[in-house]
Structures are given as C-alpha cells and as structure tokens.
Structure 1
Amino acid sequence: MLLLAALWYAFLAVFPEVSLVGKSPGQVWGYLVTGPTAETAREAILADLRITLRDAAIGFGAGMCAALLVAALFVSVPAAAQTFMPVAMLLRSVPLVALTPIIVLIFGRGLTGVTVMTAIVVFFPALVMIMTGLRSAPRQAMELVAAYGGSRWTALRMVAVPAALPSVFAAARISVPGALIGALLGEWLGSGTGLGASLIRAIPTFQYNRLWASIVVVTLVSVFVYAVVGVLENLVLARFAPKAGQD
C-alpha cells in the first residue's frame, strides 16, 4: 500500500497537467475522513458500495457454481468437452461490452442482467482452472474407485474434487477482482445503480474527489476480499489436503 501511495504521488508529480482531474491520497483522505463533508461523502459511497458488493457476490456465486458444474461435466464426459469447450472459448474471446446490449435485451437492466454479466467474467477463467485441477487427480486413486464398482461421478466426488481444491481456490482468488469489475461494468452499462454508475456520473459533473475516492474504496475492498479468500483457502486446505493426500 505504501508503494502504491508513493507511485500515486510520483505520477501526479511527473504529470502536473492532470492536477485538475487527478487527486492525491491526501486529498482523498480529506474527502472521506477529515473534510467538512466527509460523513456525507462516506455515506454516499458506502451506499453505492453495498449495491456493488451485492451484485458482485451474486454474480461470483453464480459464476463459480456454473464453472464447477460444467467442469465436472466436461471432465466426466470428454465428448461434451470436445463439443462445447471450443464454443466456450469462442464466447470468451468476445468483449463483454459487445455482449452487453444482448444481455440487457434478454435479461433486462436490473439485478438479473448485472448478475449475468458478472457471472460471465467469473465463469470462463474459473472453468479452465477447475478443469485443470480435476484432471490432476491421482490416476491410481481413480482406478481404485472404479475397481470397487464406483461410478465416474463417485470417483469425481471422492477423489477429483478434493484434489482440485487448490485450483478451485486459485480460481476464486482470481475471480474476486473480476467479479467486482464485472459488477461495475454491469452497473455502468445496465442497471444504472451502484458504484459503476456513480463513477460514470462523477466525470461529467466534475466530482473528481468522489471519483478517486470511489476507486480507492473499491480497490481496498477488492484487496481485502482477495486476502479473505486466501485465509479461507489455507484453512480448508489444512483440513482437507492431508486427507486427500492420504486417500
């Protein structure tokens, strides 16, 4: 954080022509904490932040659950992966901004549309990482389950999923910032609520203090949630990874 603050100050010093638009960490601190209107500013930003966090959480959950289910299907049924994985990669190459009008037309401008846009951002990277984790399951353990009459789904549940836990949490860590970005984009282009919409409204109305303060707040929240996922990963892997290794 100190390095980021130093780079922030250095950028404003090297490019003084952006002083009208660019705000320093001290100015953001004054706007949010010590200024005469700090309480009002915090309440406005936090109100928008709550909407964005709700949108990001729902989209993150939907995207991760879909990635888990589809990855399990693709690993268990190779024909499905060969058929639909190229289609998924093709869709992934299409910019979300280009898909937004279609998503808004189908799902509307409310929470559902934002959830779909956020889930798309989360889904594709998580799918690839989770599939890699499921395919890394020990072959001997998978064959042992089959030898005792277990189905492919039983082997997946008992062996592959525990072995894929590191990949699942790695996908979750990567997807957390992506979910916030997807929620901001969905709010900007779709619902018109939350921080995504307020960031865009702040530019033409010259509310640059609010703009920078909102960016700082959402960045700090993203870093915090990323760290929380890392802590959960350590706790879960400490509980299940040794057991998976014994199996």
Structure 2
Amino acid sequence: MATSTSPSTASPTVTGGRTSHGAAGSVLRAARTGLITLLIVVLVWQAIISILGVSTFIAKGPLDVFNWLFTVPAAAENRELIWGNLLVTLGDSFIGFTAGLVVALLLAIAFTLSRGIEHALMPIAMLLRSVPLVALAPIIILIVGRGAAVAAVMGGIVVLFPALVNIVFGLRSASPIITDVISVYGGTPFTALRKVAMPSSLGALFAAVKISVPGAITGALLAEWLATGKGIGGAIVAAVAQSKNFEVWASVVVITAVTLLLYGLAQLVESLVLRRMGMAASAGE
C-alpha cells in the first residue's frame, strides 16, 4: 500500500517543477532571441551605411543615435521628446490593435457559425485589404475627422484581415469528431464553438495577435503621418522637413525597437499560455 501511493504523491511536485522550469526556459529563450535579433539589426544597419557611403549628415549609425539619446548635453531633452511622441503612438496603436482584433474575432465567430454571413462580409474585408490605405485615407479623414477615431479606423483596417484569416482558420481546425459528439448529445453549434473550437484555436489566436502588433503600429504611424500630425509619425514628417536627421533616425530606431519588443512579448506570452494549456507543441517547442 505504501509503495503504491508514493509515486502519486510525488507526481504533482515533479509536474510543478517541470512547469516552472519550462516557463523559465521560455523566458530565457525569448531574451536570447531578442539579443541576437538586436545584434543582427545593429550590424546590418552599420554595414549598409558603410557600404553605401551615405553622407554622415543624412545617415546616422547606431553610435550616433546612442550618443544623441544618452551622451550629448541635450540628451535628456531628446529622450523626453522621443518618449512623449512614443506614448502618443503607442496609444494610437493600442486603439487600432484592440478595434481590429475585436472586430476580427467577432467576424470569425460569425463566419464559423454561418457560411451566409461569411459570403456576405468576406468580400468587404478583402476589399479593405486590397485597396491601399493611403488611397482610403482621405475618405476616412472626411468621415471620422482627424482625432483618435482615425487612428482606430486605420489601425483596425491594417489589423483586421490577417487576424480574421488566422482566427477563422483556427476555429475551423477543431476536431470534427468531437464536434459531431457534441451535436449527437444535443449541443448547439455555439456550444461546439465554445467547448471545442475556441480552446483548440488558441495557437491561431496568438498568431493573429503577433501579426497584429506590428500591423497596429504601422496603422498608427500612417494615421499620424496623414491625419493627426502627432506621435512618432507626425514628428518624423516634421523633422524631415526641418532636416533634423538625428531626431528622424532616433524616432525610427525607437519605434522599431518597441515593435520588436512587443512582438517578442506576445511570443513569450503565447509560449507560456500554450505550455500551461498542454499545447506547447503548437508554440513551436
């Protein structure tokens, strides 16, 4: 009796240890990947400037940007300027990210439950995807104005279609056998969606989130360039016009670094959640 109960009591401890070890490993892998990516980007950046021989007045290398942000006498003011613009852009990006992802999720659920809704609305989503956003910008500005709404609409358009395709694919990848079992026992299509399709589509949902992060930032920058004149996008346009090349390069570097950081964070959360759900293989581990 004693020997038969001993393994069962030890099992939770081993499982918990493996879970915590796996989480720590995911964090370390994410940090390592981020550092490698940063190193590659910096080397390629400096190499391109050196090979092309671009004027130092126009092109700024990694060390130039670092000095402008941290070592020159006006570094504190420079950082404050970039930080203020970055916060505006991140706010606009969050609005577009949330709007696009929520609409994509609702449409994906509707498409999964009804082919008729999909046939009616998918052409509209494809139209928004196929028409360049720059061409739609004047119409969007006329309709919603130049406030936060334009960032939500333009960011949402960039996010919508890729997220929609990924989420629909994930919802429809649920096991048909389990879905049939639910149907046999009197379950509705919505029950099958809630109990089977949505849990099994977590991998696709996280893929949509990862795609949407850079998409939302791109949409926010476009809205700032073309409509609001604020944030990183507006600051870059103004700095280019005034030949403030240090500010231009610093703005581009900061928004790129933040985009990579947010993408890596989404990837880390995906790995941890899927591991917790017993779906680590879907996270590519």
TM superposition score normalised by structure 2: 0.83
For 2:220, the equivalent position in structure 1 comes to 183
For 1:216, the equivalent position in structure 2 comes to 253
Per-residue deviation at 1:189?
A: 0.7
Sequence identity of aligned pairs in percent? 45
Q: Deviations over 1:20-72 (max 9, x none)?
A: 21101010000001111110000000001001001101110111111000011
For 1:157, the equivalent position in structure 2 comes to 194
Per-residue deviation at 1:237?
A: 1.4
Partner Cα separation in structure 2 for residue 170 and residue 194 of structure 1:
27
Per-residue deviation at 1:241?
A: 4.4
Establish whether residue 86 from structure 1 lines up as the match of residue 123 from structure 2.
yes
5 Å-filtered alignment, 1:1-247, equals 1-241=38-278
Determine if contact 2:128/2:157 at 8 Å carries over to the other structure. Answer: no
Report which stretch shifted further, 11-20 or 24-33.
11-20
Partner Cα separation in structure 1 for residue 166 and residue 208 of structure 2:
6
Structure 1 moving runs of 4+ over 4 Å: none
Determine if contact 1:31/1:41 at 8 Å carries over to the other structure. Answer: yes
Partner Cα separation in structure 2 for residue 211 and residue 176 of structure 1:
22
Per-residue deviation at 1:90?
A: 2.1
Partner Cα separation in structure 2 for residue 10 and residue 237 of structure 1:
38
Q: Deviations over 1:185-219 (max 9, x none)?
A: 11111111111100111101011001000111011
Determine if contact 2:239/2:245 at 8 Å carries over to the other structure. Answer: yes
Long gaps (5+) in structure 2? 1-37
Partner Cα separation in structure 1 for residue 123 and residue 153 of structure 2:
21
**Root-mean-square deviation (Å):** 1.3
Distance 1:237 1:17, change over 3 A: closer
Determine if contact 2:96/2:155 at 8 Å carries over to the other structure. Answer: yes
Determine if contact 2:95/2:151 at 8 Å carries over to the other structure. Answer: no
Per-residue deviation at 1:122?
A: 0.5
Equivalent pairs counted in the alignment come to 243
